[in-house]
Amino acid sequence: MELVFVGLGLNDEKGITIKGLEEINSADHVFMETYTSRMPDFNMGHFKSMCGKNVQMINRQCLEEDSGKIILTAAKSGKAVFLVPGDPFIATTHITLRVEAEKLGIKTRVVHGVSIMSAIVSLSGLHNYKFGKTVTVPFADNFSETPYNVVGQNKKLGLHTLCLMDLREAENRYLSINEGINVLLEVEKKKKMGILTERTPALGIARAGSDNPVLKADFVNKLVSYDFGEPPFSLIIPGELHFMEVDALIAFAEAPKEFRGLSK
């Protein structure tokens, strides 16, 4: 009776760790979900060749409406491995499943993978300890002022905000960075608190974890029209910037030289 949560990394089948592959090799059942994040270059055929096991795909309904019963049932009779994009619990979606497994007497373990949190720090050069609360910017049909408010709360503390762009994997829909910025600007027009204006510095990141990620830092009025290409997308609204962070944004993300006036 065991359930092992294994992180897949961010981009393709090569992102899994050797430890993760070892867990799959000794598993009786292997499950995988792809609805919490898009892995642009993942090839299931190659992955099955790597691990030598059949992989059963799990959708959002199975986990959120059926409480992951199919996974828990498999774990009750042997060893089940659940494959998750990124690091298994950076997205809080699967915590309920782990808690339920423990309640049922099923031993759980975690094999970590590269997460968006570590990737955006490594790519951007922004300091890890200066990030505040992370927030997801939703599609317009699920409009919320929460992302705007979170950015404001973090800014008061001088902290950076990671804004994840919403996705609906089953519909093949991915909120773009441009759309996410416009959602935040709409709230700014209403509240007029100066939290996100056209002169606010921001950083967009596309396809973190791939061989060719796109990073672009600029002021919002320029960034809102920048073409980031294919998803997945992330947006960072900086708080107070150290001069080394500004140097990194200029070197790694083509930030304009005007950014030098932002550092403290």
Q: Per residue in 68-127, pLDDT tens?
A: 899 999 999 999 999 999 999 886 678 999 999 999 999 999 999 999 999 999 999 999
Mean pLDDT to the nearest integer, 12-20 = 94
CA nearest neighbour of 165 among 176, 173, 154: 176
Tell me the pLDDT band of 169, cut-offs 50, 70 and 90. confident
Cis previous bond, 232, omega within 30: yes
What domains sit in the chain, N to C, each tagged with a CATH number? 2-111 (3.40.1010.10), 116-262 (3.30.950.10)
Helix (H, G, I), strand (E, B) or coil at 78: coil
Query: Do 255 and 246 touch, CB atoms closer than 8 A?
Result: yes
> What is the reported pLDDT for 92?
66
Longest Cα pair distance anywhere in the chain, in angstroms?
61
Report field, pTM of the whole predicted structure over 0.85: yes
Tokens read off for 42: 């993942």
Structure confidence by residue, pLDDT tens digits, 27-67: 999 999 988 888 989 999 999 999 889 999 988 888 877 87
Q: How far apart are CA 142 and CA 186, in angstroms?
A: 14
Query: Do 220 and 245 touch, CB atoms closer than 8 A?
Result: no
